[in-house]
Amino acid sequence: MWSIGDIQMKYPVVLAPMAGVTDLPFRLIVKEFGCALVFGQLVSANAIRYGNKKTDVLLQIAEQERPVGLQLFGSDPAAMAAAARYVADFHPDIIDVNLGCPAPKVVDNGDGCALMRDPVKAAEVVRAVVKAVDIPVTVKIRKGWDDQSVTAVEIAQRVEQVGVCAVTIHGRTRQQFYGGNADWDIIAAVREAVSIPVIGNGDVRTPEDVTAMMRRTGCTAVMVGRAALGNPWLFRRIVQYLEHGVYDADPTDTEKVAMAIRHLRMALEMKGDHAVYEMRKHLAWYLKGVPNANKVKQVIMSIDAADAVFQVLYELLEQLATVEEA
């Protein structure tokens, strides 16, 4: 067991917040597979300030996915405090402050990982959020802006001082984006520098990677991001490995397509017909490596009607079942 504030979790496995990915349907699926804590997509404090109601969709949560965190980004302390109070009305278990997003449209406004270059301001932003709400606040950071500006340890210490309950560190700089290798040693350095839980992030692709990161860094838990795309089974396999030292084989092609169909159905039920467009990337991830998947993906990308997408997927499912029975 481990905890963030008074929130206790059995397994040290966390789903990373990913823009355009970690919506409610995906989080619910991941939770079924054993993920201890899930985070929603990052939400702009300015979008909340200016009344963008599309933001409310990103803040919807379900009881069965708890514990769940919602993530905010912004660089104005007052706007972040107001946004945190707004988000708290959706009753998340945790509010996370994003200091790690490398996207140009985020950092160009001084938000996300841009704040890694200014530890004092970063702490001011986080302090405002902590003071604004009565629920646990966490922070997600990177190693730093670049190799000449490695500020992870300083920022982790500063946010701990202003009342943060846990910190997640991705072992890459902003300059790296998602390339190169994650520096697990910086995760260990942050763990040594603070007394709050530290969640390690970066280059976790297998169950073995989870235990390797925890042994090497001493981190409290591990966050999984891109490796979970089209692969919610990874969380079940991680839990199995933590408990028994062995885990299930990779899902079959039939299981992948069946999950793609289920995920699409859930998205349509929860979000309406426009979910067809949002699901295209998820369907492509599920179909990766499946025979004849490239042709199917090309067709799906050109279809607007949900019924037609289902038909294509069911036809592929029947083809795969026939092959597996042969």
Q: Are residues 89 and 58 in the same domain?
A: yes
Does the annotation mark 101 as catalytic? yes
Instruction: Select which of 35, 101, 165, 219 is catalytic.
Output: 101
Q: Given a cut of 80, is residue 325 above it in pLDDT? A: no
**Residue where a domain terminates, one of 224, 244, 264:** 244
Per-residue pLDDT tens for 178-199?
Answer: 999 999 999 999 999 999 999 9
Q: Are residues 197 and 264 in the same domain?
A: no
Q: Are residues 272 and 158 in the same domain?
A: no
**Residue where a domain terminates, one of 244, 265, 286:** 244
**Residue where a domain terminates, one of 180, 211, 244:** 244
Per-residue pLDDT tens for 16-55?
Answer: 999 999 999 999 999 999 999 999 999 999 999 988 888 9
Residue 295 in tokens? 């042709």
**Confidence bin at 324 (pLDDT 50/70/90):** low
pTM, full prediction:
0.96
What confidence score (pLDDT) does residue 24 get?
Answer: 96
Q: Are residues 50 and 163 in the same domain?
A: yes
Q: Are residues 240 and 257 in the same domain?
A: no
Q: Are residues 35 and 131 in the same domain?
A: yes
Q: Are residues 97 and 169 in the same domain?
A: yes
- Domain tally, the chain: 2
Phi-psi group of 42: left, alpha or beta (phi > 0 → left; psi -120 to 50 → alpha; rest → beta): beta
CA–CA dist 102, 19 (Å, integer): 12
Domain that holds residue 200: 2-244
What confidence score (pLDDT) does residue 51 get?
Answer: 87
Strands (E), the chain: 2-4, 7-9, 13-15, 38-44, 68-73, 94-99, 137-144, 166-173, 198-201, 221-224
What confidence score (pLDDT) does residue 53 get?
Answer: 80
Q: Are residues 102 and 24 in the same domain?
A: yes
Q: Are residues 145 and 41 in the same domain?
A: yes
Q: Given a cut of 70, is residue 169 above it in pLDDT? A: yes
CA distances (Å), 53 to each of 49, 84, 208, 210, in order? 10, 16, 42, 38
Q: Are residues 171 and 309 in the same domain?
A: no
Q: Given a cut of 90, is residue 269 above it in pLDDT? A: yes
